[in-house]
Chains A and B, each alone.
Chain A
Amino acid sequence: MSGKKGSRRDFLGAAAAAPAWGAVALADPGRAAAQAAGLRRSDLPDLTIKQVKVVVLKAEQRRTPANGEANAPPGGRPGEKFAAIVTNSGIEGNYVLTDRYFHPNWSNLGWLDYAKAALPGKSALDLPALTSQWRPSLRRYGQLSYAAAVDNCCWDILGKAVGLPVYRMLGAYRERVRAYASSQHLRTVEDFVADVKHAMSDGFTAYKIHPPAGPGGTHDYKLDMDVIQAVRQTGGDDMPLMYDPVGALTRDEAMKVGRLLDQLRYVSFEDALPTKDIDGLVELAAALDVPVTMGEFLPSIYDYVPYILRGALDEVRFIVDNVGGITSGMKVARMAECFNMMCQPHNWGTTLDHAVHFHCELAMPNNVWFEMTQPMGITDRPYFKDKIRIDKDGYVPAPVKPGLGYEFDRGVLDNMTLRVES
């Protein structure tokens, strides 16, 4: 008799002798029954969390691409950081840590201290219990950005444990999602014309404008209108086009630009106004045909309510980092679906930023778009074996690897590692 401390794996490896069956039946009747019927199921590894750590990469010198961010700081970039949660069985879940927008509300850099206190000894399978903000005593502080990184890592672990890409556990709805090329904040009309041509030559069938940002936070909506016209002219009549000024317009400017978008049959007017201007958004959504798309700047799943009840948006966006990870992103997606609204999550940044939103999209019926950061390939890193690319029809195929589906090359990552914090 192997005794109660024998793992399931030991039991399964044992020859099917009579006493062993008895022991299996006691310990795990479902499995014993399955085996008796000739089934072999996945043998789930121990998903107790053993360790949390942060991998800090060395600072990198990277060239800004020709159609890159106008305001990107020149020269070196600080090293990237990745959260890691490791189980007893050695499965590691990862997500990216960063100081988005250089704003503390958007940063998850304090993740390690939090995760160390909250996670070791717990099971990765308890993921919503680890990160939910439902209870009023938790919710009163606002959404915890660390929770999103924990949640994403746990989904990565669960996927790896069962050998499935995350979207197949969320419930696969599609196997690929149509991409739009999502521009950088380029400077001139000519920059955008060149960028649209480049995207079309890459095979993109849709394009989103992030218009030029003026110095000192100023914004020239008339320049935006020139860009909007030039992009329609370059892309042709059939290209779906979107426009996202990231909340930089006044009400009056937004209405003027919106009329033009209607005329040019754009399919999305995103962050037309600052997110907190609900009254202005209601007015826009009622006046314009182009769908008003909002949600990136909502920092909790519980903040979408007034936008829906008051008609302040037509299509819903979310950033999983702001709402508690993939688990919560799916909640917003499902809420939108129940209100018959399309949901087009944010998809910007590194490969893993894209990955977590992509899995949500693949599990949604009410989604059309994958947002591909321009230029395609900008998310490539030597320490990722996998790259995000469109297929010949302009769609991004679902990842086939388990978990988040984009795999680290650990050898390369180790070479680029400055230190591991734990």
Chain B
Amino acid sequence: MPEPNLSRRKLLSATAGALTAFSAAGDPGRAAAQAVGIQSGDLPDLTIKEVKVYVLKPEEAPAPAGGNPIRRSEQYCSIVTNSGIEGNYVLSNRYSHSNWSNLGWLAYAKRALAGKNALRLPEFTNQFHSAVGQLSYASAMNNCLWDILGKAVNLPVYRILGAYRERVRAYASSQHLRTVEDFVADVKHARSQGFTAYKIHPPWLAGNEVNYKLDIEVAKAVRKTGGDDMALLFDRVGAYTRLEAMKVGRALDELDYVSFEDCLPTDDLEGLAELVKALDVPITMGEFILSPYDYAKYIRYGALDEVRFIVDNLGGITGGMKVAQLAECFGMLCQPHNWGNLLDHAVHFHCELAMPNNVWFEMTQPMGITDRPYFKDQLRIDQDGYVPAPRKPGLGYEFDYNALHNMLDRVET
């Protein structure tokens, strides 16, 4: 009689003789399935063996047209199972703000995860009863664990979440360019690449000042350049006063824009409710909401028309889907944030592919800026201006681990 800790895999590769009886006792469902000729997946051991962080060498890259020079010092977290499946996500100090950083991830993850099973992901990352606010480390863990689960069952994550679509229409999402001419050139470039929609991140002046009149000029010029049929979006990242937001909003209404995102600071519920009532252009909010449990008041107040989220702020893909489904039950569209690194795009893309109430994929401009030598895959639009779903398992964009190792500064464990 084989010892009880014999793996499933060994049993399955054995011939179906007397051993079948043992197999049935150990895993009756599988045995039954096999008896009727079903071969279901043979799931590898998903116990977490190791967590670590890849720190890459610092890099400088030339500024994209009209943008700022890029200094990168990238970090990737990694969770490895006993079976050798590795889940990855990006770690970074977003906005150089402690609320948005997940750089302390490693110490937390080591304590929380070692020896646990990757399948218990929401259990590790849920914050339903949290007294101290959403934990940003939880999001990175959750994303890694979805990556692992997808790789284990050989499906891209969105197919486990529930596939609704196979591609999502993209808008080119601008950098914060400086002048009207910069934007005109950028829209032309995006159109020539095949984008059918465009989002303005308007100029920042010195000292993080904004000039709403310049912004209106940009909005007009982009409409003129893009033509009547291009879908246009506008995102001030919360920098207007109420009066400025109303003036810009009237212009956007006249120019037939389809989204006015973060027009006011997120905490100005009253101002947002006023804008929602006054304007036709949908008010799109949510990137700066830091927990799935903070959306309820915006919905009650009528402080948004369309819902955005950043999975890093609300517990990863699991938390993102909660907000997406909250929005759906309220008949609202949901257009997640999709900015940054390739994996930033990936985690939101999987959510979008599983949502009926989503229209847009946000593609960081210029297309290709997310390419890295250590990613085998690149994000591109198809000939209709849609981004096709990734086909590889997990998050679906594969590391070239050799290239990654060449660019490594160190591995923290």
Whether the Cβ atoms of A385 and B329 lie closer than 8 Å is no
Whether the Cβ atoms of A91 and B38 lie closer than 8 Å is yes
CB of B166 to closest CB in A, whole Å: 9
Task: Report which of B38, B44, B126, B356 forms a contact with A173, defined as CB distance below 8 A.
Answer: B126
B190 contacts the other chain (Cβ, under 8 Å)? no
Task: Report which of B122, B292, B326, B331 forms a contact with A302, defined as CB distance below 8 A.
Answer: B331
Which residue of chain A lies nearest to B35 when distances are taken between CB atoms in the complex?
A410
How far, in whole Å, are A113 and B163 apart by their CA atoms in the complex? 24
Q: Which of B349-408 contact A (CB under 8 A)?
A: 354, 356-357, 376, 391-393, 398, 401
Whether the Cβ atoms of B38 and A302 lie closer than 8 Å is no
CB of B39 to closest CB in A, whole Å: 6
For A160, what are the chain B residues with a Cβ–Cβ distance below 8 Å?
33, 38, 40
For A173, what are the chain B residues with a Cβ–Cβ distance below 8 Å?
120, 122-123, 126
CB of B195 to closest CB in A, whole Å: 25
Task: Report which of B29, B85, B153, B326 forms a contact with A335, defined as CB distance below 8 A.
Answer: B326
How far, in whole Å, are A30 and B323 apart by their CA atoms in the complex? 31
Whether the Cβ atoms of A33 and B122 lie closer than 8 Å is no
Report if A41-B44 is in contact (Cβ < 8 Å); known contacts: A335-B329, A338-B326, A407-B29.
yes
B318 contacts the other chain (Cβ, under 8 Å)? yes
Q: Which of B268-300 contact A (CB under 8 A)?
A: 292-293, 295-296, 299-300
For B151, what are the chain A residues with a Cβ–Cβ distance below 8 Å?
34, 39, 41
Task: Report which of B121, B155, B292 forms a contact with A125, defined as CB distance below 8 A.
Answer: B155
Q: Which of A342-381 contact B (CB under 8 A)?
A: 363, 365-366
Whether the Cβ atoms of B85 and A331 lie closer than 8 Å is no
A223 contacts the other chain (Cβ, under 8 Å)? no
Whether the Cβ atoms of A42 and B126 lie closer than 8 Å is no
Whether the Cβ atoms of B39 and A407 lie closer than 8 Å is no
Which residue of chain A lies nearest to B292 when distances are taken between CB atoms in the complex?
A338
A259 contacts the other chain (Cβ, under 8 Å)? no
Which residue of chain A lies nearest to B323 when distances are taken between CB atoms in the complex?
A338
A305 contacts the other chain (Cβ, under 8 Å)? yes
How far, in whole Å, are A305 and B328 apart by their CA atoms in the complex? 10
Which residue of chain B lies nearest to A139 when distances are taken between CB atoms in the complex?
B331
How far, in whole Å, are A132 and B355 apart by their CA atoms in the complex? 9
Whether the Cβ atoms of B356 and A407 lie closer than 8 Å is no
CB of B153 to closest CB in A, whole Å: 4
Whether the Cβ atoms of A163 and B41 lie closer than 8 Å is yes
Best-surrounded residue of A37, A38, A134 (most CB of chain B within 10 A): A134
Whether the Cβ atoms of A39 and B84 lie closer than 8 Å is yes
Contact with B along A16-51 (1 / 0, CB 8 A): 000000000000011101100111111111000000
Whether the Cβ atoms of A41 and B33 lie closer than 8 Å is no
B322 contacts the other chain (Cβ, under 8 Å)? yes
B65 contacts the other chain (Cβ, under 8 Å)? no
CB of B403 to closest CB in A, whole Å: 12
How far, in whole Å, are A392 and B73 apart by their CA atoms in the complex? 54
For B16, what are the chain A residues with a Cβ–Cβ distance below 8 Å?
none
A129 contacts the other chain (Cβ, under 8 Å)? yes
A221 contacts the other chain (Cβ, under 8 Å)? no
How far, in whole Å, are A302 and B325 apart by their CA atoms in the complex? 11
For A401, what are the chain B residues with a Cβ–Cβ distance below 8 Å?
28-29
Task: Report which of B154, B300, B398 forms a contact with A33, defined as CB distance below 8 A.
Answer: B398
Report if A31-B154 is in contact (Cβ < 8 Å); known contacts: A37-B84, A39-B85, A129-B164.
yes
CB of A275 to closest CB in B, whole Å: 16
Whether the Cβ atoms of B292 and A42 lie closer than 8 Å is no
Report if A172-B356 is in contact (Cβ < 8 Å); known contacts: A125-B159, A128-B162, A365-B126.
no
Whether the Cβ atoms of A400 and B29 lie closer than 8 Å is yes
Which residue of chain B lies nearest to A9 when distances are taken between CB atoms in the complex?
B39
How far, in whole Å, are A30 and B409 apart by their CA atoms in the complex? 26
A70 contacts the other chain (Cβ, under 8 Å)? no
A164 contacts the other chain (Cβ, under 8 Å)? yes
Whether the Cβ atoms of A162 and B38 lie closer than 8 Å is no
A174 contacts the other chain (Cβ, under 8 Å)? yes
Best-surrounded residue of B29, B44, B155, B322 (most CB of chain A within 10 A): B29
Whether the Cβ atoms of A41 and B84 lie closer than 8 Å is no
A337 contacts the other chain (Cβ, under 8 Å)? yes
Whether the Cβ atoms of A402 and B376 lie closer than 8 Å is no
For B123, what are the chain A residues with a Cβ–Cβ distance below 8 Å?
172-174
Task: Report which of B122, B154, B330 forms a contact with A305, defined as CB distance below 8 A.
Answer: B330
Whether the Cβ atoms of B152 and A42 lie closer than 8 Å is yes
Whether the Cβ atoms of B44 and A40 lie closer than 8 Å is yes
Chain B, interface size: which category? 35 or more
Task: Report which of A37, A39, A169 forms a contact with B44, defined as CB distance below 8 A.
Answer: A39
For A340, what are the chain B residues with a Cβ–Cβ distance below 8 Å?
293, 296
B83 contacts the other chain (Cβ, under 8 Å)? yes
Whether the Cβ atoms of A407 and B32 lie closer than 8 Å is yes
How far, in whole Å, are A158 and B163 apart by their CA atoms in the complex? 12
For A337, what are the chain B residues with a Cβ–Cβ distance below 8 Å?
128, 292-293, 322
Q: Which of B304-348 contact A (CB under 8 A)?
A: 318, 321-323, 325-326, 328-331
Q: Which of B171-223 contact A (CB under 8 A)?
A: none
CB of A24 to closest CB in B, whole Å: 13
For A171, what are the chain B residues with a Cβ–Cβ distance below 8 Å?
121-122, 318
Best-surrounded residue of A45, A90, A334, A340 (most CB of chain B within 10 A): A334
For A339, what are the chain B residues with a Cβ–Cβ distance below 8 Å?
296, 326
Which residue of chain B lies nearest to A165 when distances are taken between CB atoms in the complex?
B29
For A40, what are the chain B residues with a Cβ–Cβ distance below 8 Å?
9, 42, 44, 83
Contact with B along A384-422 (1 / 0, CB 8 A): 010000000000000011110101001000000000000
Which residue of chain B lies nearest to A45 when distances are taken between CB atoms in the complex?
B39
How far, in whole Å, are A189 and B18 apart by their CA atoms in the complex? 56
Contact with B along A119-155 (1 / 0, CB 8 A): 0000001111100101100000000000000000000
B94 contacts the other chain (Cβ, under 8 Å)? no
Contact with A along B32-68 (1 / 0, CB 8 A): 1100111111111000000000000000000000000
For B376, what are the chain A residues with a Cβ–Cβ distance below 8 Å?
29, 33
Q: Which of B1-49 contact A (CB under 8 A)?
A: 9, 28-30, 32-33, 36-44
B160 contacts the other chain (Cβ, under 8 Å)? yes
Whether the Cβ atoms of B30 and A38 lie closer than 8 Å is no
For B356, what are the chain A residues with a Cβ–Cβ distance below 8 Å?
128, 132, 134-135
Whether the Cβ atoms of A44 and B155 lie closer than 8 Å is yes
For B328, what are the chain A residues with a Cβ–Cβ distance below 8 Å?
134, 301, 331
Between A and B, 25 residue pairs with Cβ closer than 8 Å are: A30-B392, A39-B84, A41-B151, A41-B393, A42-B40, A42-B43, A44-B41, A44-B153, A90-B37, A128-B162, A134-B356, A160-B33, A161-B41, A163-B30, A163-B41, A168-B119, A174-B123, A301-B328, A334-B325, A337-B322, A338-B326, A365-B122, A402-B30, A402-B33, A407-B28
Nearest 3 Cβ contacts at the A-B interface:
A42-B41, A401-B29, A134-B356
Known: A39-B83, A90-B36, A160-B33; 12 extra A-B contacts, CB below 8 A, are: A29-B398, A30-B392, A34-B151, A41-B152, A42-B42, A43-B39, A89-B39, A161-B40, A163-B153, A331-B328, A335-B330, A365-B122
Interface residues of A (CB under 8 A from B): 29-31, 33-34, 37-45, 89-91, 125-129, 132, 134-135, 158, 160-164, 168-169, 171-174, 301-302, 304-305, 309, 327, 330-332, 334-335, 337-340, 363, 365-366, 385, 400-403, 405, 407, 410
Interface residues of B (CB under 8 A from A): 9, 28-30, 32-33, 36-44, 83-85, 119-123, 126, 128-129, 149, 151-155, 159-160, 162-165, 292-293, 295-296, 299-300, 318, 321-323, 325-326, 328-331, 354, 356-357, 376, 391-393, 398, 401
